[in-house]
């Protein structure tokens, strides 16, 4: 399996976040990617640098005004006389307008975000943009005949929507990869999200499309972040009706129930006729994760890799969540080695 790593991931390094209203050290930190890279390199995988791609890979899944905002956000934040990381303080609620872009930076920061756990810092754009290049690079490899690839990047991406960031995510790497695979010839692409938290951004990007199936196994949004999306009755709309499969599980669900949901998702992917598979590999389904509530062990990630290999599709893994930093490398390696072993 070829591995492409983000050379700028450590530049996104906020000082703190607000977690459920408390000021805490960031759960999403550079060492997450460093542990994964060490584990994969130690297992013999060669770590490659990404190619550079034009902004069109971003515009295919994100709006131009959102991308333009992210690109200039840090300079504008500092230019307004602010110090430290940028946090949103006001948001448009139901009934307020978002069709007009405010001139005030604080208003735009809120309009393009949905939580206080995702601060912008000096290197956020550089890290997120390089992650998009990693996703597009891996997609190009698969389109050229590679059977698998691993996108080793942070910040993660699956909570980022067409024009909003949150959940530690700014650009949606899985969506960028899936769209690139479509544009390079795959008639149908499936995105399988195994992160503990529902990938609301990926769902929104593809919800009305019939060429990309989104399937997600995640904590029930009745009690788990992102709370406002990820229910089982969200099945797609318009041309995408039937192309969205949410499999929410109660917090604390058994590993047996998790794998039963995985089988449901894999059957749906087969029925869909996908020609390529993008896996949003959230390693926070591990029992040791500090902010998640599933019970997978390292051996279960090996089994996950084997089941994904059995699907028989060109497969692109994208690193998403996983905040038990000491375990994330081991679980990433288990997933990859399980896939390689078949």
Exactly one of 159, 197, 198, 218 is catalytic; which is it? 159
Give the list of residues 6+ apart from residue 306 with CB closer than 8 angstroms, or none.
Answer: 338, 339, 341, 342
Please enumerate, as own/partner, the contacts of 230-234 that have beta carbons within 8 Å and a separation of 24 or more.
230/198, 230/200, 230/203, 234/203, 234/207
Give the list of residues 6+ apart from residue 90 with CB closer than 8 angstroms, or none.
Answer: 106, 107, 110
159 is catalytic: yes
Asked if residues 276 and 183 have their Cβ atoms less than 8 Å apart, the reply is: no
Burial of 174 (0-12, 13-18, 19+ CB in 10 A): buried
Q: Dihedral of the CA atoms 192, 196, 200, 203 (nearest 10)?
A: 10
- Could you tell me which of 134, 140, 240, 132 has the C-alpha nearest to residue 181? 140
189-193 β-sheet, strand order: 47-48, 2-5, 148-152, 315-319, 276-281, 189-193, 212-219, 244-249
Q: Distances from the Cα of 120 to the Cαs of 15, 65, 123, 141, 270, in angstroms? A: 10, 17, 8, 31, 39
Question: H helices within the chain, ranges in order?
Answer: 30-42, 56-59, 64-79, 105-111, 124-143, 173-183, 200-206, 255-272, 298-310, 325-341
Residues serving a catalytic function are 159
């Amino acid at each position: 399996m070829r591995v492409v790593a983000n050379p700028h991931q450590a530049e996104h390094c906020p000082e703190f976040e607000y977690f459920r209203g408390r000021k805490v050290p960031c759960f999403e930190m550079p060492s997450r990617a460093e542990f994964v890279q060490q584990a994969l390199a130690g297992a013999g995988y060669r770590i490659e640098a990404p190619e550079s791609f034009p902004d069109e890979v971003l515009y295919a899944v994100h709006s131009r005004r959102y991308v333009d905002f992210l690109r200039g956000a840090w300079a504008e934040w500092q230019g307004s006389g602010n110090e430290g990381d940028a946090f949103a303080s006001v948001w448009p609620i139901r009934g307020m307008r978002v069709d007009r872009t405010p001139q005030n930076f604080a208003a735009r920061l809120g309009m393009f975000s949905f939580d206080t756990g995702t601060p912008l810092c000096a290197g956020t754009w550089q890290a997120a943009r390089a992650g998009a290049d990693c996703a597009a690079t891996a997609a190009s490899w698969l389109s050229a005949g590679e059977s698998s690839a691993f996108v080793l990047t942070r910040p993660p991406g699956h909570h980022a929507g067409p024009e909003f960031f949150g959940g530690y995510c700014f650009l949606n790497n899985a969506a960028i990869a899936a769209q690139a695979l479509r544009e390079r010839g795959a008639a149908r692409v499936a995105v399988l999200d195994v992160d503990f938290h529902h990938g609301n951004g990926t769902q929104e990007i593809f919800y009305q499309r019939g060429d990309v199936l989104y399937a997600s196994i995640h904590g029930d949004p009745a009690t788990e972040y992102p709370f406002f999306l990820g229910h089982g009755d969200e099945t797609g709309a318009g041309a995408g009706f039937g192309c969205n499969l949410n499999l929410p599980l109660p917090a604390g669900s058994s590993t047996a129930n998790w794998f039963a949901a995985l089988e449901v998702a894999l059957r749906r992917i087969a029925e869909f006729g996908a020609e390529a598979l993008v896996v949003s590999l959230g390693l926070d389904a591990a029992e040791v994760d500090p902010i998640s509530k599933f019970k997978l062990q390292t051996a279960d990630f090996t089994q996950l890799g084997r089941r994904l290999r059995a699907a028989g599709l060109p497969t692109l893994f994208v690193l998403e969540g996983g905040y038990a930093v000491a375990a994330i490398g081991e679980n990433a390696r288990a997933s990859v080695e399980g896939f390689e072993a078949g």
